[in-house]
Amino acid sequence: MAETAHSTATLRLTVGDLRIVHPITVPASAVPAADVLPALQGLVNTVVAAAEAGLMKSGGVISCRKGCGACCRQLVPVSRTEGERLVALVAAMAPERRERLHARFAAAAAAIEGAGLARRGDRTDRDLSVAYFALGIACPFLEDESCSIHPDRPLVCREYLVTSPAELCAGPTQEGVTPVAVPKVSLAARGLQEENEDWFALALLMKWARTRPSGGKRRTGPEWVQRFLKGLARK
């Protein structure tokens, strides 16, 4: 079987106050958008690392640790592109683990729908997030208060770090929580495939999977990256 050809370029970006130099490698051929997500994850990781380095240089300390899963009960917005890759990730898991996850997703979806939060309505982002957090629904991927898919976690999860005491993160209104100023590169993933695409809550992944758009355009890896960068410039 012939190996897939790839294209590599070095991105030089100014993101917020950060100057980012990051090599990115993507398939050279036409592929679904989800196939370039690992490259975008790498870019977000580089942006986050640069923000962390700047914080540490100024004497700041990140309080997030493995086993501290309060933030994994927040509303996590996921793009269609990320959703497609996460659905494939779950489908590739061993049957027993996959069944456990499906049960958790079903329970989470029932709780969200029961609280009337499956649709935004006229709520602001803040109101929706506070109401969602009040439900105390653990991310279905959370196990022993740690992310069980950490290398594949959503982009927005990578961008969330705090310097405040960890115990404050469990507060109902997150009062006193001090997030690290990380540029939200993840926003550029929304609408990557179609301009009118919206995000959905990660906990509704399996419900979304049953009604998600079929097909989807295929573009070369560099073309997907260009679309992502244009979205980043707009955001």
Across the 235 residues of the chain, what is the mean pLDDT of every consecutive 10-residue run?
Answer: 81 94 97 97 97 94 90 95 97 98 98 93 90 96 96 97 93 91 94 88 96 89 96 87
Residue 150 located in a structural domain: yes
Residue 46 located in a structural domain: yes
CB 193 within 8 A of CB 81: yes
Residue 56 located in a structural domain: yes
Residue 1 located in a structural domain: no
**Nearest-CA neighbor of 84 among 222, 218, 184, 227?**
218
Residue 194's domain spans which residues?
6-234
Residue 177 located in a structural domain: yes
pTM: 0.93
CA separation for the pair 18, 133 (Å, rounded) = 31
**Nearest-CA neighbor of 128 among 141, 138, 115?**
115
Residue 229 located in a structural domain: yes
Domain count, the chain: 1
At residue 155, what is the residue type? L
CA separation for the pair 61, 55 (Å, rounded) = 7
pLDDT of residue 1: 46
CB atoms within 10 A of CB 32: 19
Residue 55 located in a structural domain: yes
pLDDT of residue 3: 65
Residue 57 located in a structural domain: yes
At residue 129, what is the residue type? S
> Residue 110 in 3-state DSSP?
helix
**Nearest-CA neighbor of 184 among 201, 161, 159, 163?**
159
Two tokens at 140?
């279905």
